Structures are given as C-alpha cells and as structure tokens.
Structure 1
Amino acid sequence: MRENHTPPASRSRTAVVFGIVLTIIGLVLAVGGMQLVSLDGSWYYLITGVALVLSGVLLAASMALGAWLYLLIFICTIAWAIWEVGFAFWPLVPRLAPVLVLAFFCFLLMPRLRGGRGRAACWSLAVLTLAALGLGGYGMLQPHRAIKAGKAQNTTQAVSAPTPGEAKASTWQYYGRTPAGTRFAPFAQINKDNVDELEVAWTFRTGDIAGKGAEDQGTPIQVGDSVYVCTPYNKVIALDADTGKQRWKYDPDTPDTGIWNRCRGVGYYDAAAYATGPGAAALAARTADVAADSDAPPRETGAAATRPVVNGAKAATDADVAHAVDAAGGSCAQRIFLTTLDARLIALDAKTGEPCAGFGNRGTVDLTAGMGEIPRNFYMPTSAPTVMRNMVLVGGWVYDGKSVGEPSGVVRAFNADTGELVWAWDLGNPAITKLPPPGETYTRGTPNVWSTPAFDDKLGLVYLPTGNSTPDYWGGHRTALDDKYSSSVVALDIATGRVRWSFQTTHHDLWDYDVTSQPALYDLPDGNGGTIPALIQLTKRGQIFLLDRRNGKPLATVEEKPVPQDVQEGDRISPTQPYSTGMPAIGREPLTEASMWGATWFDQLWCRIEFRKMHYEGEFTPPSTRKTLQYPGNYGGFNWGSASIDEQRGYLFVNDIRMPQWLRYISREEADAPNAAASHDGLHVQAGTPYGVTKNTFMSPLGVPCHAPPWGTMAAIDLQKRQVVWERPISTLQDTVAAGGVKVGVPVPIGMPTMGGPISTASGLVFFAGTQDYYLRALDAETGEVLWKGRLPVGAQSTPMTYVSPESGRQFVVVTAGGARQSPDRGDYVIAFALPQK
C-alpha cells in the first residue's frame, strides 16, 4: 500500500471545510424535512439531512467513515429518486445533481482521510461522477418529455403547390385567416426542403414600443398588396406587402390605460359587395350637406375628427346617407375596422387610412352607448372585430376581479356600411335586442366575449367563446342566465343575434376558466366519404371539446364527473364538471408532491412544503380562506392564441401554458384596506362580495416554477384518430433573465410558457413565435422537429401569418415582435421572412 504523503494539517483543513458544508446542508434539509413529515410528506429529506449531519461531523474529524456514510446516502438517493419519478430527466435533475457534485468532492477527499485507502479507485470514481455530471449537462441541451410521431400515426397526404391563380387570390383577411379560424394557409412555396433558406425580406418599425401594461399581441391581416397592422396603443398602419414600406398610418389618440393595452388585430370589409344606402334621389339631395360636414383628419394624427360618436338609430340614419356619399365618390369601398381601448369602433378607408365619413359619426361609433357607468379601464375591446356579411361584431374585455356589477358583457353587431346597431345579445336579458329602453342599461356583470369568434356563413351561425361573470372567483350572486352562458361556446344566428345553441365547458366557474381561444371550424371526415361540420374548442383547462357546429352536440365523448364540494359558505358549486374524455387533454396531469421541482435541493424542499400546506384536490378545488392551489392556472392550458388545423392532414396544432397558481380568500376589511394594491395579478378586490382574493403564480424563492418542466409545449393531434401524434417542449432558457438581471444565454430546451398561437401551411409546416426566447420557428407538421428558426430582435407574443403577394408571387411569413411577457427587452418590429429572390 502506498502511503498518503499529504501533510496532516492540509488533510485536516480540507476535511473540516467539507464536513462543515455537509453539516450545514444536512441541518437545513433536516429542519425542512421535519416540517415536511409533519405535513404527511416525504421522509427522505429528514432522513438524508440527519445522515448528512453525521457524515459531516465524521468528515470534519477526518474519519473515512464519514465518506462511506456519504456514499451510502448517495446510493440511497439514486434509488429513492428513481422510485419517485422514474427516469424522467428534469424531475431527476434537482434530486441527483446535488449529491453528484458532493460525491465528486467526497471521492477526491477520501484518500486524505484517516484510514482512507485506494487513491486510484477514489479518483476513478470522481472521474465517473464528473462524467455523469457532464452527461447531465449534455442532457439539459436536449428536449425531454417529448412524444415522438410513430410511423403508424403518419397520415400525410401528397400536397401540391397552389396554382398561380390560387396564389394571386391568396389573402389573410381575418384574424384566423378565414372565418373558420383554422390559421391554415394553402401555400407550399415555402416547404420542408427550402425552409432553412428563409431570410428577413423586410422589417418595419411602428414607433409604438409597448410600455407598462402594454403588450404587442397583434396578428396582421393582408388583402391584395397591403398588410394592415395595429399597435398596442391602437395605431393602424398599412404596409406594402412586398417591401414593408408604410402607405398610411392612423392614430386614434387612444389614452394609455396603464394596465392592459392590447390590439390583437383589425377587421376588413369590402363595402362594394354590400351596397346598402338610400336611393340616388336621396343621395343627390344630401350630398352637399354631408360633404360639408365630413372633414377627414390627417393621415398621421386625425383623432379629433373621430371623437363625435353615433349613439342611436336617428344618427345612424344620417350616417346611411353619408355612406352613400362615400360610395359614390369611391372612398371607403374597402374598410379597415378598429376597436379602441377607450371603447370606440372606427371605420377607415383601406386605401388612405382616413375615417369613413358615412360610418357612424365621421367614422366612429360609441361602444359605451347603453352600457351605463363605465369606470376608467373597466371596459375595452382588445381582440380583432369580426366582420361577417355586412356587419361587424364587437365584444369586450372587462377589468378582472374588481367588483360585482361591472360593465355588461353584451355582444353587438353593427352595420358595416353605416354603423347602425343591427342587433345586441344581452346575456342577462334576452328581451333587449338593440339598445336598452330609456333609463336602462345592458345587464351588468354578465359573462363577456373578449376573445375572437368564428363564423359559418353557410349555416348562418357565429360562435362566441365566453368568459365568466365578474368577479371571477366568487359566484354567490350570479343569476341563472349568468350560469347558463358562463365559460361556454355559444352559437348565435348571424342575422338576428338570437341563441341557437350553447355548450358549457365549466359549470358555475369559480376559477377564471374563461373560454379564451377562438373556436376552430373544420369539416371532419365521417368515414363514409362525407364530412361532419365540426367545431373544436380549446379551454384553459387543457380540455379539447369536439362538437357538431350545427347543434353543439359532442362528436367526441364528454363525461360529467364529480368534483370537490367543500365550497365557501355563501357560494355554491356544481356537483359535476364536463370532461372531454373522447379527445386528448394536454398538460393537465394532477400535481403531486413528487411533481414539485426546484433549481436546488432547498427550493425543491420549500416547494414540497408549500404544496403540502395548500388545499389541492385537482383542477376544481374550490377557492376558500385556505391557501388553495389551482392547476391549470387561469392562464391555461390554452389561451387566446388559439389552435391551427392542417385542413389537408387533419392535424390540430396547440401550444399550452403550465403555470399553477395559488389563491386565497381574504376578508372584506383586508381587501378594502387603503394600501391594498389591486392588479390583474395579486389582489382581486371583488367589491360587493364577502371576500377579496389574493393570488399569484406558484414559484420557488429563486423564482423558479415549483413544478417540473416542461412549462409550455407544442402538440399535434390527429382529429380522426383523436390521439396525440407528437408533443414537444417549446422555447429555451436562452433569453430568460436569471437572478441579477443576467440572461441565461444557453439554449436549454426546458419548455417555457407560451403566448400567441401556431399557423400551418399546405407544405406541412407549422410556424410559431410566441416563445420566451427570441425566435420564429418552423416545425415539421408530421414529427414536430424544428426545421428552422429565425432570430428576432426581441421576443414575440403574437401569432404569425403568411400570404403570397399578388404582385411578386413570393410567399411571406410575417410576425410582430414587441417583447416577450417576462422579458425587459421591448421593441416595435414587424418582420417578414421569405425565400431569397431568384
């Protein structure tokens, strides 16, 4: 045996330092472990903590027995970790990484200890441990928890490029490209073979950088040779589709809300296709009068001329005549519709950007008409208006969690030529079909429609995704009609606005499970050579409901399942909730203590303790005065970004968010305290109810989510087989800001929460940009493999779009990039990618 020639003093100091480190770690784990055991949690941390303390004391005394004890801890930890989470990579990282790092130093130290032997063996073990850490580091750069497509699931059909005629006719006219909201583009110029050649074709800066409370979530539309963009502050800009050069810009002078500035899109209408005004004689008689009173504002700033508003039928009659003047003069034959954060509906000439004098009053309709009192920022349309036939449909966002009796969730259809109110759907009073009677208002506090509808013109139905009644987390005051239409998809008759059918995704919603995604309409093969008109509705719950869009009946099995009933006194709860068991559910596996995660041993232990402290019985755990865990959280699941359907392959593409939240009822006195700060996150005052609510995301003290990754994925679902084809984490840590304000800088594909939605093309590509790293990605529709990614100057929250220019014949993919939600980097970019010109 070779003698150990390391000086005794050196051996002693090294062992003492390492022993002290182990002892401190052990004490922390033991104390936390004791608390966890008292909450009926895992015994691992208590046992390991005590063993580490003993090991540390022995090592500080330079006794080899301390190293052997640590080796036993090391082996037992590996066994326990595999027993608890199997071989899932990310759950193993915080369980094994600490013991591996400590084992490396322990093996190096062993030959220096009294009675220590086998320097070569110990160093070999240290090298093996270091190699294991290296493999772990490599593993962190690979995607995990991915479901890969199998050959049996591949249903790809041959796809041909569109003919030149089809290419010239291509438009992205609606928020979801068509009224069906499938975000499917029948173009194949950019395909799997050449997508890696994509380059920036043009970039436009809007000059409207999103500040506090503002986010760029807009999807441009394209008609003919123009692309139309709106900014978070409601400015509208028309761009040349080939060059990105500005054609006109309109500024409605919308006040900054400071809390929720959004503009997800604009609407387009061809007035010439729906000529409705009065006859030529009336036109001739009124032309001079209307022309004299229709001063159009300058293209850059003409807000003052749009401030007067039309508020009823008489003013609309005058607007009828003014519209006829527009049509006769050739102006406003094509229109862009904009809703503003201060509740205006504005019609602009698509060619010039000037307000349409014949619409409402000088181009503007007042959306506050009939609404009653609206405190500042309590009502604002944020999603694109829906143009259907010769009408424009408008819903609105209401301030979450403020009080009972907030502004109505009424949905209204206005004549797209004149601005006249055609019909209104008041969810709380079916008798109101237009403006309320004098002295009355639309029913306050009803469910609203803040996201984007879809419509089927052939069936004559428009499909509305509804929210829940205000405030979100208390329902003791809600009416039967509130409960009937809350968190549902509702089909209205396009012509009359009357309800034809409704389907509810959450009964008596106490969790803010609004239906936020646009319904997607798709003709599903029936297996006999025909099709069934289907509607696919995503939900925040991660549930996907497949319905017959003619009558709302489920095409895939929906089961009512019992849910927890321990509701707070004064409220009520539904005994069952609907589960779409005939379709895959994405990211809704119930949380357990073993699901808890962290960047280190310590914050994982903290998350376990907090999980055990909270009340959690699944996704329908009722809110209460106890701290309650909600998963999926109120962000989703699926949110407003909505789905895309490859209409040729029958694949549904969805991206999700996996961010649990905790919430707790607080007393009326606490909620009403003068220093209480109310916000979209944090405190919901819920004035008029017995309780306020305090809530936030469930994060560790290090700012890391308390549950294991991924926290956001992209998935493909075969709509005929009704099974997942592939699923993969989406987004990396590259641009995530860590502690100290420094970006991680390493593209770890952990799967971050997503925003926006995907689009798909006939060439088998899926484009997505709503990640927290700064990329537009192109994925293989059949496998989910990332075929290309284009770097963006800042992150994006928007859904991209694509079109084929009628002038050049080039296919462009366009995305707006104003900054990812959690990033300090902000911008004002509209970026178009295309293949190199030849």
Structure 2
Amino acid sequence: MRFLRSLAVWLLGGFLLIAGLVLGYGGMRLILLGGSWYYIVAGIGFIATSILIFLKRREAPWLYALVVLGTLAWSVWEVGLDWWPLAARGDIVFLVGFCVLVWSFGRWFRAGAIGPEATGGRGGAVALAASLAIAGVVGIISVFIDHHDRPGRLAMETTASSTGGASSASASPASTTAPSATGGALASNGEWTAYGGTHFGQRYSPLDQITPSNADKLQVAWEYHTKDIRSPQDPIETTYEVTPLKVGNLLYICTPHNFVIALDAETGKERWRYDPKLKQSPDLQHLTCRGLSYHTDTSAAATTPCAHRLFMPTADARLLALDAATGKLCEDFGNHGEVDLWRGMPELQAGFYYSTSPPVIADNLVIIGGNVSDNVNVNSPSGVIRAYDAKTGELKWNWDSGNPDNTQPIGPDQHYTRSSPNSWSISSADEQLGLIYIPMGNQPPDQFGAKRSPQTERFSSAIVALDIDTGQMRWVFQTVHHDLWDMDVGSQPSLIDLNTPQGVVPALVAPTKRGDLYVLDRRSGKPIVPVEERTVPRGTVAGDTAAPTQPFSALTFLPPERLQEKDMWGATMFDQLACRVKFRSLRYDGIFTPPSLQGTLVYPGNFGIFDWGGIAVDPVRQIAFANPDYMGFVDRLIPREQFDKEWNERLKKEQPAASEQEEGKAPAFPRSEGGLNPNRGAPFGVDLEPFLSLINLPCQSPPWGYIAGIDLRSGKIAYMHKNGTIRDSSPVPLPFKMGVPSLGGPIITAGGVAFLTSTLDYYIRAYGVSDGKQLWEGRLPAGGQATPMSYWSEASQRQFVIAVAGGHGSLGTRAGDAIIAYALPKP
C-alpha cells in the first residue's frame, strides 16, 4: 500500500512538474509575442505545487487552491460565463485539483485527524475543496447561459408581389396556385427541374404537406445505393455534392465519377444507368458532380427520342446530352452526343479544366462555365463562359473575361485568354429579362495578384450579368477588389421579386464566402440593400498591391468584431496555449489582411461563411434560410527557391516514384487545394491550411456553424442558432451541440419547414422556418455534404425529401453512396 501511495505521489507530482514546464515554456513564448501572462504564472503554480507534493508539504493544497481561483478569475474576465471557452481553460486545472484534493485528504486521514499536521492538512483540503466547488458552480451556471444563440422570429404571412401574388401551396400540388415564371417558383406539380429548383436558384418548394406540426413523423421511404465508391486513385476532394432533379415520375442523379442514373420517384428503383467511360486524369483537384440540367425541346413530339434531355459536364471536360427517357446519348448533339470543352483552350492540360456544376439551360441554349485548378500555374486554362445550342451542340457565343466585348464564337485556330477568371459554381437566369447571372472566381493564383491584367481584374470575385442570346455583358458587380484570399463567389445567386418601399424590384441575392449578402437590382446590378466602401488593411509582398477599400453590405453575417487572442480555443489549456502562440505569430489585422511571408490568418477563411450551397429563399414570404460557417485559414507565401526545396522534400516523402508519375500512375502535384500549392510561374508558392490546433481542432472558439433566418424585405437577420454536434468528429461519439461547419445548402418549403444535411455530423435535420427551432433529425450512413431537394409523388400522394450521403474527401467525412428519401407515413 505504501508503494502505491508513493507511486501516486510521484505520478501526480510528475504530471504537475511536466505540465508546469510546458506552460512555462509556452507562456514565455506567448509573452514575447505580446500575449497573456496567465500561462507562465499558472506554470509556476504547477511547478511549485509539484515540489510541495514531492516534499509532502501541507501548503500544496493551499497553493493549488490559489491556482484554481486565479484560473477561474482570469477565465471569467476573458470570456465571461461562456461554457466551452471556460471549459478549455479550466478542465485540466479542475481535474488535477481533484487529484491534489484526494492526496491532501489522504494525508489528513493518515495523520489521525489530530495534531498540527492534521489541522494544517485539513485547512488546505477544505480551501482546495471550496475553490473547486466555486469553479464547479460557475461552470454549471455557464452551461445554462448561451452567449451565441440569437432568438427571433420571421413573419410567415404571405406577401403579394409581381411573382403573381401566390399564396402558400396546398398539401396537394394539384390545387397549387404557382407564381409566374418571373417568380421562379416551382410548377404546380411539385417537381424539381433545375439544380436550385428552377433557374432562379431559390431552393424553394411550394409543397406544404410537411409542416412544423408533423415533421417529427418523417420516416425513410426508400434508400438507394449508387455503387460509385471512392477509390485510392481518386483525388482527395472526391465528394458527393449532387442535388437530384425530379421530372415526371423519375428522379435523376449523377455521381462523382459521372455516372447518370434514373430512379423511380416513388420507390427509388433504378430505371436506367449511363456510364460515361470517364478518362480520369491523375491531376484532378476535384471529382464531383453537383447536378444535371434538364431541357424539353418544345418543337419535338413528346415521344421523339431526346425530346427531353439531360446535360452533364464530365471530369474529363466533355459536355454530354442524354435522352432523359432512356439514358442514351443524343446523337444529334455535338459529336454523337458530346461536346469537347477543351476546344479553344490555350493548351491541353488534362485535369486542369473541367466542370463540377450543372449548366444553365435558357432560351434553348446550354450555358456553361468551368473549374480551373487553383494555384498550380499562372498559365492555366481559360475561364470562358460558353453557350451551345441545346439541340445541335453548336457554339453560339463565348464570353471570355480577357476579351469581354467579342462574344462571337472563336474560329478553329483561335484560343481563349489564359488564366482568365472562371465560374466553377452554378449560375441563375431570368429568361423574361433575358439575363444570366454568373458568379465568378478570380485569376489564378489566388494569393498573389501582381500578374493579373486590368481587364480580368474587373471580373474577379464578381457577379456578371450576360445577355442570354448574345453573351454581351450587361452589368458587373464586384464583391472583392483585387482578391488575394480566394473569396470567389461560390454561391448560386438567388432571384426574387422583392417588395421595397419603392415598389416591387426584380432582385438578386448573392451570398459570399466573406459573409456579406449583396441584394441587387438584377436589371442593373445596383444595390438595393446599402453597400459601402471601407478601408481595409494594406501591405503586401514585393511586387503585389492590395486594394485600399472593399465593398461591405449592410446585410452581413460577418462577425461584429475581429478575432482576438482570448478567442483561441482547444480541448485543453495546452492546445489552447499553442493556438494563442500560433495566433500571435501570424499576421492578422482583421478581414482582408493580405497574404504574407510570416503567414496570414484569413478569417473568414476560404472555406467561406457561404460557399457553393448558397441560401434558400421563400419568394412568397420574402424570407431566407441559411447555414453560415465560421472557420479560419492560414495562408503563408513561400519564396520560389525555398518553396521548390520544401516541395521536393515533400514529394520524396509522400509521392510515388518519379517513374510512376511519368507513366501517369500518380499525380504530379497534390490533388487538393490544401497544403503546398506551387503557383508555377509566380515568385511565390503558398501553403494553405485550416487554422487548427495540435490535435486538429479549430483554434477559434465554437460555435463554428449556425442556421439563420433572414427577412429580405427589411434586410435584417431574424435569428441564429448553433447547428450540429461533434458526434462524428471526436474520437468518441459525443453528441455535444457545439455548432459545426456545414458544406452544402438548405432548402425551404411552403409548409414552413427547412431541411439541411451538410454538417460534419451525419444527419438530415428539419427546422421550423419561423424561429429556426429543430423539429426532427434523421441519421445518415455517411457525410451529407450536398443540398437536399423535395418533390411530390402522385403514386402515394406524398411530399418526399431527398438526402444524399456520400461524404466529402477534404472534410474527412465518411464516404458512402446512399440516396435516401423521407416522407410522412402513407395515409
């Protein structure tokens, strides 16, 4: 027994000594960087307590009680009664305090509770117990105080506008009074005919069979598995991001490897499948398919082959046209059913150009952009936007931001501008106005802009409105000037006819990575919600410049204050200390701090507050539902010579032999936007990493993800609630609702229910749109990083909701191949 007691003393004293030395070393580094003195003081307290324990001195619990109370006072001073930041500061201190208390009581009892030694031991034990009790009470109180929840309500009455003044859809779509085409709402049969429901990109369903009062009764109606499984040869960013289409009694999906599949909308049974025989380059950064496009040839009889067509761009840069009834290629389109998207590019660079997003079909034209690999080479493929005849595949116009005034199709010996800004996301269209609205990226490389031309700079990170018939530019609105942060516009713009004090205005709502929502008159691009230019940080690496101001919208999800050292977080005080040192070591002057050699904290990060998932807009109630995220990133520019050395060292460690690369068996560069990015042809490479702790937790305090409601008429955020748990992100499945990031978007329904998958935990959730309260959740078998959709099935007279669970490679969510339909029980 004496041996065990001695061992316990040495373990406790040893831990305190080692912990104190770690805190002392890290605390000194933090002080030298201008940070908090707490850690070095706490380290001294740990070391002194360990010495007293080794010497078996009764002063040990007294001293450690001061450590507990000092830590509590400092923590409350920094973050108030906010549970997760408090827990990170005090968890180790509290647990060690409990061990010291046990040791102290043991000495007291062994002294027989008599004499001076017992009295001194009793006093120290009582003091330490009291300090721990105070800390425990404060912790318990903080659990019930939510500093991050923003309660509120949205008005749910319907609003008459030029959308046709439609009221909410009825439970049976047969009696729905649908808004006119101007409103962009779904047809009365409750179908989902484009990626965003319609080309208005609202992600809105006029169905209301599912309501806040019955959403908790949703159950699985069917489940289908595509059998398209991620392989070791696939890039890291192999993802299931598809939103299905529903037309007639069929559901249409595509998969990461570009299989196209038709399913029975009622049962989920496969009706046909098309294999594109993908020629997969080892140099792909992404392998995904966000969706398909559907088109009906009104000049053809309904039974004519390919009268109803599906269009899909592939990962090997083809545009395919398929018969929606059979899945066979439409031979009259292009070259036996396909168009080569490499035509007109400056040079063929397999894997560097392709499209992951569905084209827009408007006025019998297939209008498509493309993804250009980020940060690989300053000489990259063009970001040209092209329009093809939906029947023949003939090129009708091309809009090249490097040569924006000439939209006539180029000749066989001509080429588009190298490295011009591209549009990798989803566009929206208003056929009555004759305009397509294109969200733009920027000219590569993302973090160094010295070699960009004034012409292409104009269109980087902007919304561009083009004439559907001619491709001529009608207006442009830039969301970031001289973008050095990869803040391209990833979200599909949502179109709505908005009631304003000046009357009904055809509006466009553009969510952005930086968190601003720009509400513009879609006829002219002029702001409806005020936008002002504000001064932002300057100071770039040699040769580059930074814009002196940036446009800020009055409707924004930007945090009201920039990050501070006290906002750093960790599971324990040790990784929080490391995050504080990291934070102080980086350049950070708030949003738009330029990239630097020392490393720049980019917050919001290029993960985006809003990315390609966009928001969901109810055109009748004129409200929106959103899922903003808050994650920081770190950009570090590396001079060319130093970068090449780091690159070669990394290749030796991580890449297969050069002979394999020459044979095309391995990529010539890492197939992900994270980590080292070469920027060939630029004086700097770049290292891009999420802002994470030593144990891969976010360095900034939670929450990291929310759901939110927006009143578009007033331009105000009505509520924000934490969303998602760490169940599938932590080593053990803890269902703590901390608010986790989500990648994908929500949908909204006339029934007053919104649906969202997308979070890092594997769930589909239903929310009451009026207040954002969660109504129901269903467990998914894999990551759900896709946007759901909803449709009506005549066979069972039910509203279905579809979730796609296939995972996301770069997020690390579990891979899968499931398409799951939910509905209320059959009547």
Normalising to structure 1: TM-score of the pair?
Answer: 0.88
Residue type of the alignment partner of 2:74: W
Residue 33 (structure 1) aligned to one of 27, 33, 36 = 27
Q: Is the 8 A contact 1:540 1:632 kept in 2?
A: yes
Residue 542 (structure 1) aligned to one of 508, 515, 518 = 515
Q: Is the 8 A contact 2:439 2:464 kept in 1?
A: yes
Matched, 1:356 2:330: yes
Residue type of the alignment partner of 2:592: F
Give the aligned partner of residue 317 of structure 1. none
Matched, 1:572 2:545: yes
Give the aligned partner of residue 62 of structure 1. 56
Q: Is the 8 A contact 2:58 2:124 kept in 1?
A: no
Residue 475 (structure 1) aligned to one of 449, 454, 460 = 449
Q: Is the 8 A contact 1:11 1:62 kept in 2?
A: no
Distance, in Å, in 1 between the alignment partners of 2:778 and 2:123 is 49
Displacement of 1:159: 4.7
The Cα offsets for residues 286-325 of structure 1, whole Å up to 9 and x where unpaired, read as xxxxxxxxxxxxxxxxxxxxxxxxxxxxxxxxxxxxxxxx
Identity of aligned residues (%): 44
Give the aligned partner of residue 288 of structure 1. none
Residue 170 (structure 2) aligned to one of 161, 166, 172 = 161
Give the aligned partner of residue 245 of structure 1. 269
Matched, 1:836 2:825: yes
Q: How does 1:81-160 map to 2 (within 5 A)?
A: 81-111=75-105, 112=107, 114=117, 116-117=119-120, 122=125, 126=129, 129=132, 144-150=146-152, 154-156=155-157, 159=168
Displacement of 1:720: 2.1
**Could you list the runs of 5+ residues in structure 1 that have no partner in the other structure?**
1-6, 276-326, 739-743
The Cα offsets for residues 617-665 of structure 1, whole Å up to 9 and x where unpaired, read as 1121111222221111111111101110123332222213322111211
Look up the SS of the partner of 1:485 in the other structure.
Answer: coil
The Cα offsets for residues 393-431 of structure 1, whole Å up to 9 and x where unpaired, read as 110001110111200000011111111111110110124
Distance, in Å, in 2 between the alignment partners of 1:630 and 1:359 is 45
**Would the alpha carbon gap of residues 495 and 9 (structure 1) be closer, same or farther in structure 2, given more than 3 Å must change?**
closer
Residue type of the alignment partner of 1:784: G
Matched, 1:593 2:561: no
Moved more, 351-360 or 13-22: 13-22
Give the aligned partner of residue 179 of structure 2. none
Distance, in Å, in 1 between the alignment partners of 2:713 and 2:406 is 41
Q: Is the 8 A contact 2:383 2:423 kept in 1?
A: yes
Displacement of 1:103: 2.3
**Would the alpha carbon gap of residues 115 and 640 (structure 1) be closer, same or farther in structure 2, given more than 3 Å must change?**
same
Displacement of 1:127: 9.2
**Would the alpha carbon gap of residues 594 and 132 (structure 1) be closer, same or farther in structure 2, given more than 3 Å must change?**
closer
Distance, in Å, in 1 between the alignment partners of 2:326 and 2:468 is 30
Look up the SS of the partner of 1:725 in the other structure.
Answer: strand
Moved more, 122-131 or 713-722: 122-131
Residue 37 (structure 2) aligned to one of 43, 47, 53 = 43
Look up the SS of the partner of 1:374 in the other structure.
Answer: coil
The Cα offsets for residues 191-219 of structure 1, whole Å up to 9 and x where unpaired, read as 11111111111111111113332211100
Displacement of 1:154: 4.5
Q: Is the 8 A contact 2:367 2:386 kept in 1?
A: yes
Matched, 1:333 2:307: yes
Look up the SS of the partner of 1:664 in the other structure.
Answer: strand
Moved more, 717-726 or 821-830: 821-830
Q: Is the 8 A contact 1:143 1:750 kept in 2?
A: no
Distance, in Å, in 1 between the alignment partners of 2:474 and 2:204 is 27
The Cα offsets for residues 677-726 of structure 1, whole Å up to 9 and x where unpaired, read as 54321111111111111121121111111111112222112212322222
Matched, 1:231 2:262: no
Displacement of 1:102: 2.1
**Could you list the runs of 5+ residues in structure 2 that have no partner in the other structure?**
109-116, 159-166, 177-187, 652-668
**Would the alpha carbon gap of residues 256 and 144 (structure 1) be closer, same or farther in structure 2, given more than 3 Å must change?**
farther
Displacement of 1:128: 8.8
Give the aligned partner of residue 602 of structure 2. 630
Matched, 1:760 2:786: no
Residue type of the alignment partner of 1:165: A
Distance, in Å, in 2 between the alignment partners of 1:534 and 1:459 is 12
The Cα offsets for residues 124-176 of structure 1, whole Å up to 9 and x where unpaired, read as 97499479669969987x8954434336x555559562554246622100100
Q: How does 1:310-709 map to 2 (within 5 A)?
A: 330-527=304-501, 530-580=503-553, 582-587=554-559, 589-673=561-645, 674-677=648-651, 678-679=669-670, 680-709=673-702
Residue 14 (structure 2) aligned to one of 5, 15, 20 = 20
Distance, in Å, in 1 between the alignment partners of 2:349 and 2:808 is 29
Residue type of the alignment partner of 2:632: P
Distance, in Å, in 1 between the alignment partners of 2:764 and 2:812 is 16
Look up the SS of the partner of 1:19 in the other structure.
Answer: helix
Moved more, 69-78 or 444-453: 69-78
**Would the alpha carbon gap of residues 243 and 49 (structure 1) be closer, same or farther in structure 2, given more than 3 Å must change?**
same
Matched, 1:200 2:258: no
**Would the alpha carbon gap of residues 760 and 128 (structure 1) be closer, same or farther in structure 2, given more than 3 Å must change?**
farther
Distance, in Å, in 1 between the alignment partners of 2:734 and 2:356 is 35
Distance, in Å, in 2 between the alignment partners of 1:727 and 1:496 is 42
Displacement of 1:23: 2.4
Distance, in Å, in 2 between the alignment partners of 1:371 and 1:188 is 47
Displacement of 1:828: 0.9
**Would the alpha carbon gap of residues 222 and 59 (structure 1) be closer, same or farther in structure 2, given more than 3 Å must change?**
same
Q: Is the 8 A contact 2:65 2:131 kept in 1?
A: no
Displacement of 1:109: 3.0
Distance, in Å, in 2 between the alignment partners of 1:353 and 1:511 is 41
Distance, in Å, in 1 between the alignment partners of 2:649 and 2:98 is 51
Look up the SS of the partner of 1:269 in the other structure.
Answer: strand
Q: Is the 8 A contact 1:556 1:583 kept in 2?
A: yes
Displacement of 1:437: 3.9
Distance, in Å, in 1 between the alignment partners of 2:141 and 2:343 is 60
Residue 255 (structure 1) aligned to one of 259, 269, 279 = 279
Distance, in Å, in 1 between the alignment partners of 2:353 and 2:10 is 65
Look up the SS of the partner of 1:611 in the other structure.
Answer: helix
Q: Is the 8 A contact 1:264 1:383 kept in 2?
A: yes
**Would the alpha carbon gap of residues 491 and 68 (structure 1) be closer, same or farther in structure 2, given more than 3 Å must change?**
same
Q: Is the 8 A contact 2:173 2:207 kept in 1?
A: no
Moved more, 153-162 or 54-63: 153-162
Q: Is the 8 A contact 1:583 1:722 kept in 2?
A: yes
Moved more, 622-631 or 15-24: 15-24
Look up the SS of the partner of 2:343 in the other structure.
Answer: coil
**Would the alpha carbon gap of residues 572 and 127 (structure 1) be closer, same or farther in structure 2, given more than 3 Å must change?**
closer
Displacement of 1:509: 0.7
Displacement of 1:329: 7.1
Displacement of 1:122: 4.5
Q: Is the 8 A contact 2:372 2:422 kept in 1?
A: yes
Give the aligned partner of residue 307 of structure 1. none
Look up the SS of the partner of 2:287 in the other structure.
Answer: coil
Q: Is the 8 A contact 2:172 2:797 kept in 1?
A: no
**Would the alpha carbon gap of residues 16 and 346 (structure 1) be closer, same or farther in structure 2, given more than 3 Å must change?**
closer
**Would the alpha carbon gap of residues 658 and 519 (structure 1) be closer, same or farther in structure 2, given more than 3 Å must change?**
same
Look up the SS of the partner of 2:345 in the other structure.
Answer: coil
Give the aligned partner of residue 769 of structure 2. 781
Distance, in Å, in 2 between the alignment partners of 1:83 and 1:44 is 12
**Would the alpha carbon gap of residues 329 and 170 (structure 1) be closer, same or farther in structure 2, given more than 3 Å must change?**
closer
Distance, in Å, in 1 between the alignment partners of 2:272 and 2:593 is 51
